[in-house]
Amino acid sequence: MNFVPLTSVLLRLFYVCSALVITCGNLLVIVSVFYFKQLHTPTNYFILSLAMTDLLVGILVCPFSMAIADSSCWYDENLLCKIRGGFDIMLCNCSVLHLCCISVDRYYAVCQPLRYTKKINDHVASIMILFSWSVSVVIGTGVMVIGIHKKSCVTSCSFHVRITTTFGCVVSFYLPASVMLCIYFKIFQVAQKQAHRIHNQSCQSTKPVTRREKKATQTLAVVMGVFLMCWTPFFLCVTFQPMSNYAIPVPVMEIFCILGRSNSLLNPFVYAFFYRWFRAAFRMIISGKIYQGEFGNSKLH
pLDDT digits (tens, 9 = 90+) for 283-295: 999 988 888 878 7
pLDDT digits (tens, 9 = 90+) for 13-49: 888 899 999 999 999 999 999 999 999 999 999 999 9
Calpha distance 247→152 (Å, rounded): 20
Predicted confidence at residue 78, as pLDDT, reads 58
Using DSSP's 3-state secondary structure scheme, residue 221 falls into helix
Calpha distance 263→285 (Å, rounded): 23
Indicate the pLDDT class of residue 4, thresholds 50, 70 and 90: low
pLDDT digits (tens, 9 = 90+) for 138-160: 888 887 776 544 444 444 454 44
Please determine, for residue 76, whether its predicted confidence score (pLDDT) is greater than 90: no
Burial 134-166 (b: 16+ CB within 10 A, else e): eebeebbeebbeebeeeeeebebbbbebebbee
CATH number assigned to the domain with residue range 6-291, chosen from the 4 options 1.10.10.10, 1.10.3720.10, 1.20.1070.10, 3.10.310.10: 1.20.1070.10
Max mean pLDDT range (59-63, 132-136, 149-153, 259-263): 132-136
User: 206, exposed or middle or buried, with CB in 10 Å at 0-12, 13-18, 19+?
Assistant: exposed
Instruction: Please report, as a single letter, which amino acid is at residue 185.
Output: F
Percent of the chain having pLDDT more than 70? 80
Q: With beta carbons less than 8 A apart as the criterion, state whether 220 and 267 touch.
A: no
Predicted confidence at residue 149, as pLDDT, reads 46
The per-residue pLDDT of the chain, averaged, comes to 81
Q: With beta carbons less than 8 A apart as the criterion, state whether 50 and 92 touch.
A: no
Predicted confidence at residue 71, as pLDDT, reads 55
Predicted confidence at residue 201, as pLDDT, reads 57
Q: Where are the domains of the chain?
A: 6-291
Torsion over CA: 120, 124, 127, 129 (sign): positive
Predicted confidence at residue 228, as pLDDT, reads 92
Q: Look up residue 41 and give its DSSP letter.
A: S
> What CA–CA distances, in Å, run from 36 to 2, 52, 220, 290?
52, 17, 20, 10
Can you state the angle between helices 263-274 and 211-240, rounded to 10 degrees?
Answer: 160
Q: Look up residue 275 and give its DSSP letter.
A: -
* 61-85 mean pLDDT: 66
pLDDT digits (tens, 9 = 90+) for 219-274: 888 999 999 999 999 888 888 877 777 677 877 888 888 888 889 999 999 988 88
Predicted confidence at residue 73, as pLDDT, reads 45
Is 1 or 174 the better-scoring residue by pLDDT?
A: 174
Calpha distance 63→74 (Å, rounded): 17
Can you state the angle between helices 211-240 and 42-56, rounded to 10 degrees?
Answer: 30
Calpha distance 180→98 (Å, rounded): 11
Please determine, for residue 54, whether its predicted confidence score (pLDDT) is greater than 90: yes
